[in-house]
Structure 1
């Protein structure tokens, strides 16, 4: 009854305004003569009306009928009444953050040009297949943060051009298999932060063009085989904050075109390597805030097109094995951020990534970083801030690198005399280095270690075979003395004449000088 009275009053006002507009000489003058409510900004040149926080409790009926953009957010409007029908040229309407409880049937019947409708942050508890009747050109519908509980069959079928539908942060627990029937052009769907207990797989096949799906922060903990069957064109999938503990071997089998996957803030105890192997075209993976301890060798095998990897807030992550990124040679950005137990990287853990440009190691537990952990020549940006870095001679290579490249400044946490000092401001002497060239130190250390090892081996050998060595030396000395005696006797027994006869030579006759 109250709605009927309100509609009669509204119609009378509309007729009155129409009568005035007919008497005025031109549309621009008519627009200027019509009333702009207190607290609103009305522009008759751009046909934009902006009424934010204007304490409105009804939709204004004194605006220029030619307006195209109407912003009424952050007011106290409780319903969409017949006044809306007076503005037939509207293309954009924002009624977010009001007190809307319901939307009467055919409220938008005359808004055939409307392209975007924002009804988020209201108190809508139900909608039906006639709620949005007349919105033939609508491409964006935002119903986020309301009290919707279920989606019935064909509820959006009267919106043939809809491309983006936001149903996040409602109380939806039930979705009919044909709820999205007719949305052949839908590209983006938000179903996150609802009360779904399972992935609404039966409702997906009717959305052949869907490219982006947000379905995280629901109450399902398991992804069965072919969870996203029918979404072959899906490019972005957000499953964050869903409490997922288990992913079936073939859960992602249908997502052959997926480019971006968010699995952050779940309860995965290990990297789902085999499950991810179906996503050969994946370019961005966010998988932090899970419960795995190690990134094993080949953790992301088959993801040959991966360009960005984000592992943020993995509270149990302690170890990254060498070869974890063996198949990911196209990686350009790696974010290892706020992993409070991550203290060490295996030497060479990030080697073999020729396209790596940005390495973010912020807010971890690194005290030092080996030079061999990554190929530094191609790196353009390194972040090591908020780590307990120990500035000693082992970081001389990083000091030299920081002076060569424009890297994020690294601050020392220890020793005490260097605390809070930028690494870039220090010298090799500050780091306690005896030699300025780290390669020279390596050579010297290697030589010394090798010499010690060689001497130790030789000493062990001599000690183990000392008896044999002693006997060998005795035999050698005895034989040498025997040979010397024989040679001496041999030399004494041979006269010059015997030597001459034995060699078959005649003695040389000496000719006296007088005969000459």
Structure 2
């Protein structure tokens, strides 16, 4: 019966050239690519060129994979995503030994077994995302020795056999996110020693046990976004010595798990927003000396970043503090000692002002301060001058009322209510006042110390003055007043010319 069916299909294939490319499809016999997207196909096409290597059938109404697939033995890429596949008969891919990528995502598959993928010896990518799988039985993928990426996200998986991933020695990327796992399947992970990237967020873990990822020594990226975590055991991350990126966002953590994170000595990127902590305290990220990027976005209860929060993270290059609606305090010294900081994102928080001494603003390459309730006054004159020189961000005033929605960049000293147009002038004036006070004080000290000598000098001066006045008075008395008047009235005697 099978041979008869194959014969009939063979006859149909021989007439493929007369049938041509199915309506709505794009067939290229030069590149051996066929694309039939949104063509309302409900069965697998059988009239295509048998030499095709890439076949895209996504967004159609295909309900099963039938024997027609057997004639396309040169296939390297097959996309059946977003169809109506309910099941895949055993050995459907028996003759696809060259197939490298298989996309079955966005279908209605409720189960697969160890015979479903039989024949796929060269497969490196398998996408089963957004189906209805609820269990992964033993040895399910053992016949896929070259598989490098496996996507099982957004299913209903609640049970994983401890040997479900046996044989996946080449697996590098695994997606198990958005399922119904209530615990990390630690025993299953031990069979994937080469795994580099693991996504297990959007599950219902509640906590992480010690050595939760035991055996994943080569793991570089771990995504626990939305995993339902409210506690993490102290040694949960033990053994992840090569981890470089960790996502703990959208959980229920009350504090930064400082001790737990300290095991991740090579961590470079940490995303930990949308949690329930109120503050980033001093040395919260202690031990993460290689951390380069920190993202705290959407932490609804976060109010302050304390002094020394990043004291242990001298290699920090990027800090993202965004959409934290209660965050209004950035303490002096919170960003101190970060010589490599070049990207600072502070948008959509509750900041009203910024201190010039918080960090070296001129060293930043990227600065974003948009959507904060900024109070524009003289304390932000330095920022206005900075924004005028460097096109880093847009800052709109919220207060005072007369400056509402005005751009800080366009405001001068008078607009901001400054008594002097330049802060340097204020500094110079203050310096002069202080100098004058010091000088006057110094003179007072000198006068007090040498008060006896000064008194004697004044006494001598007064005595000499009296003596001079007495002599002048005696000289004036040698002439009587009458004589002085008579002398002044006598005519001046003319001198004869002959005597000249």
Give TM class, smaller chain.
Answer: 0.7 to 0.9
Q: Residue 262 and residue 15 in structure 1: after superposition, are their counterparts in 2 closer, same or farther (change >3 A)? A: same
User: What is the root-mean-square deviation of aligned Cα atoms in Å?
Assistant: 2.1
Is 1:17 the counterpart of 2:1? The answer is no
Does the 8 Å CA contact 2:413/2:422 hold for their aligned counterparts? no
Distance in 1, matches of 2:120 and 2:289, equals: 44
Distance in 2, matches of 1:224 and 1:345, equals: 34
Q: Residue 327 and residue 383 in structure 1: after superposition, are their counterparts in 2 closer, same or farther (change >3 A)? A: same
CA deviation after TM superposition for structure 1 residue 9, in Å: 8.4
CA deviation after TM superposition for structure 1 residue 19, in Å: 4.3
Q: Which moved more, 1:403-412 or 1:132-141?
A: 403-412
Q: Residue 233 and residue 332 in structure 1: after superposition, are their counterparts in 2 closer, same or farther (change >3 A)? A: same
Is 1:173 the counterpart of 2:166? The answer is no
Of the three residues 239, 243, 261, the one matched with 1:276 is 261
Distance in 2, matches of 1:447 and 1:338, equals: 45
Q: Residue 450 and residue 51 in structure 1: after superposition, are their counterparts in 2 closer, same or farther (change >3 A)? A: farther
Distance in 1, matches of 2:208 and 2:126, equals: 28
1:407 is aligned to: 392
Is 1:230 the counterpart of 2:225? The answer is no
Does the 8 Å CA contact 1:277/1:301 hold for their aligned counterparts? yes
Does the 8 Å CA contact 2:202/2:228 hold for their aligned counterparts? yes
CA deviation after TM superposition for structure 1 residue 17, in Å: 3.3
1:514 is aligned to: none
Does the 8 Å CA contact 1:350/1:375 hold for their aligned counterparts? no
Distance in 2, matches of 1:145 and 1:314, equals: 29
2:278 is aligned to: 293
How many aligned residue pairs are there? Answer: 440
2:230 is aligned to: 245
1:500 is aligned to: none
Of the three residues 121, 125, 147, the one matched with 2:132 is 147
Does the 8 Å CA contact 2:13/2:46 hold for their aligned counterparts? no
Within 5 A, what are the aligned runs for 1:354-365?
A: 354-365=339-350
Query: Secondary structure of the equivalent of 2:398?
Result: coil
Q: Any idea what the Cα deviations from partners look like across 1:361-396, whole Å, max 9, x if unmatched?
A: 000011111111112232111100011111110101
Query: Secondary structure of the equivalent of 1:350?
Result: coil
Distance in 2, matches of 1:321 and 1:280, equals: 23
CA deviation after TM superposition for structure 1 residue 425, in Å: 1.2
2:30 is aligned to: 45
Does the 8 Å CA contact 1:10/1:83 hold for their aligned counterparts? no
Within 5 A, what are the aligned runs for 1:325-404?
A: 325-404=310-389
Distance in 2, matches of 1:196 and 1:446, equals: 67
Query: Secondary structure of the equivalent of 2:65?
Result: coil
Distance in 1, matches of 2:299 and 2:306, equals: 16
Q: Residue 200 and residue 448 in structure 1: after superposition, are their counterparts in 2 closer, same or farther (change >3 A)? A: farther
Does the 8 Å CA contact 1:344/1:369 hold for their aligned counterparts? no
Query: Secondary structure of the equivalent of 1:38?
Result: coil
Does the 8 Å CA contact 1:34/1:64 hold for their aligned counterparts? no
Q: Residue 366 and residue 242 in structure 1: after superposition, are their counterparts in 2 closer, same or farther (change >3 A)? A: same
Q: Residue 181 and residue 450 in structure 1: after superposition, are their counterparts in 2 closer, same or farther (change >3 A)? A: farther
In the alignment, structure 2 segments of 5+ residues that lack a partner are 438-454, 456-500
- What is the TM-score with the length of structure 1 in the denominator? 0.82
1:182 is aligned to: 167
Q: Any idea what the Cα deviations from partners look like across 1:139-163, whole Å, max 9, x if unmatched?
A: 0000001111111111000000000
Distance in 2, matches of 1:345 and 1:151, equals: 48
Q: Residue 431 and residue 16 in structure 1: after superposition, are their counterparts in 2 closer, same or farther (change >3 A)? A: same
Q: Residue 275 and residue 223 in structure 1: after superposition, are their counterparts in 2 closer, same or farther (change >3 A)? A: same
Distance in 2, matches of 1:155 and 1:445, equals: 79
Q: Residue 19 and residue 386 in structure 1: after superposition, are their counterparts in 2 closer, same or farther (change >3 A)? A: closer
Distance in 2, matches of 1:301 and 1:446, equals: 41
1:132 is aligned to: 117
Query: Secondary structure of the equivalent of 2:198?
Result: strand
